[in-house]
Structure 1
Amino acid sequence: MNEESKSSILFHFFIFWTFCFLNGFFNPALSKNLFLFYIVEIIFWVLLPIFTITYFIFFLNVFSFSDLGFHSKLFKRESYSFVIIFSLFFSFFVQKFYFITYSVLSKIFTTNYLQNFEFQSTIPNNFETGILLTIYYSFTAGFVEEIYYRGFLAQLFHIDHKFNVNYILISSTLFSMNHWEGGIINIIDTFLYGLLFSIFYNKFRNIWPLIIAHIITDIIAFYPK
């Protein structure tokens, strides 16, 4: 990949990253008008990712879906059935890891500094609508965040299944910074979560277990109580 392509990937990544960072400032205000809130959501979490992926894969041919990790190879096996089964077991471990570390951090930080917004606050008590929004939040976060933070960033680094410390730390740090609106607890928890995911992606270059685990973890977190 030439430097021009890398610069273009970096530019599009930071458009998305900047929006995610700034939404901690404007989400509290936008959430008072849910129609406007979801218009912005759809633009940046659906339309922008679709445009970016289409632009790089189909127009520039810079990389392919397989390069991002959308393939069936895992542990030297070529089987989507195996990938799905492994992903479900991996998801169980990941969601336990995420919620246990969150619980431990909650005991350490009795005040969740920086917290100013929770997406759960936009989910109504109506069960049917609540389920639909939970699915929307979980699937958009699961697909989009893993594509950007794991897949796109990996294109900027030389990753050959050996630990690339720069990639792992940068991916985890940028990922956690975009969750600051959830407070210091969420920043640290998502950093640890990001470390686990970027190490896995660095080693195996398969994005499906990460997407599936991310979706399942978010469904549990957002599910209407």
Structure 2
Amino acid sequence: MTDNDPCAEPWTKGEGTAALTRFYYDALKRKCLAFNYFGSKGNQNNFLTREACETTCPTWVNPCAIGQPILDADSRPLRCHQGALCSTGFVPHRPLLFKEASIINFRYYCHVGFDESTTACCPSQGDPCSLIVKEGRGNQGIQRWFYNQKTRQCQPFTYKGMGGNENNFLLREHCESTCPVWVNACPQGEAYLLPTGRPQQCDPRNENSCPLTHWCHPGKLFLSLKA
């Protein structure tokens, strides 16, 4: 017999006249399912119990919008929490698992789902403040916060539980501490922005506190406004 990965083999009923209850691993559904085995000519994707199947093969939900989550040494998604660094573990690649060297060229973030089963380190899609809001997929209704680039404000939305992106914050405070939130006080045009995306503060008593293209608006917080 060949020593193949049982989780990668297609299931087969085999041959014979027996009707034995066995379990096989469905790689697409990531579930262990029951079937009737005829008694012979089967393969290694054939388990006596559901527990034996689930111990051998990765029975978990992929909550990521793109790619696969980082896996731990037990071939299950690495658990995390929002703000945690996702940098160690394994990533699935065909039927094999490669260690950290495989994720060097990718950045991962902690996707926080409805519960532990959908919380995992997923491939990043970019700067959270630049991504459009994505309600995702699933049947959950979770209140989250996203950053609206047009209004430069953090707003609530309902997240379905999986398939979202990094513009998805548990709390308004998390969103506002990550993205440049401010109100444009300019009568026309835009305030002068720093490389951080936030408006430059200025002093109306100091004519050099703004670039030549802008003037200082004496509001609650002095901003450099376009001339």
TM-score (norm 2): 0.26
Please say which structure displays the higher CA radius of gyration: 2
Q: Which has the higher contact order (CA 8 A, sep 6+)?
A: 1
Point out the structure with the larger helix share.
1
Point out the structure with the larger strand share.
2
